[in-house]
Structure 1
Amino acid sequence: MVWMGMANNMKPTIWMENDQLIPIVTQSNPAPDELLQIIHCNWYVGCKSSRCSYRRYRFPCTAVCDPCQTENCDNPKNSQEVCTEEEEVDTDNLTH
């Protein structure tokens, strides 16, 4: 199989073979285990108290927050803040 002219450069550590070549996105966790434990909320009565881990750690709730699914959520961090022109970051002056 030739993909973008790289037929001989495909390493088995980057691609898995099961009758076809499939890219491996990652073999590690998307974040440290401590962070994954913090931002998982299954509190069954909504986000009114600090029992909601999103609210406790001052994160806005996300779609993976089971009770509220971000609709009608009582987490104050979910409020949409409007950024004014003065608050916007000037990306032209940023250095990498």
Structure 2
Amino acid sequence: MSVDRATVARIASLARINMSEEDLDTLVPEFNNILNFVEQLSEVNVEGVEPMTSVIPNHQRLREDKVNADPLTGGDIRDKVLANAPAAEHGFFGVPKVIE
């Protein structure tokens, strides 16, 4: 597949990018080089290759999900937090209705 000047002008128009005539002529070979590279990638045999998210194997370090019982740093202070709320309902912040 190759790209001509009219195609580059159409892409620029769709992207709402104002380009000069010289810029259009400059981008034609660049687009064609990109498309040639993508065609080369489609020729690579990837059968049996597992998909990956990174080149380096990363594993998340997870911590235990527990509530901190210290009343100064977190956990079990709902009543103190809700005391500052302008409106509290059933143990939650009360907010005005925004959807009808």
- How does the TM-score come out when normalised to structure 2? 0.24
Larger radius of gyration: 2
- How does the TM-score come out when normalised to structure 1? 0.25
Relative to its length, the structure with more helix (as a share) is: 2
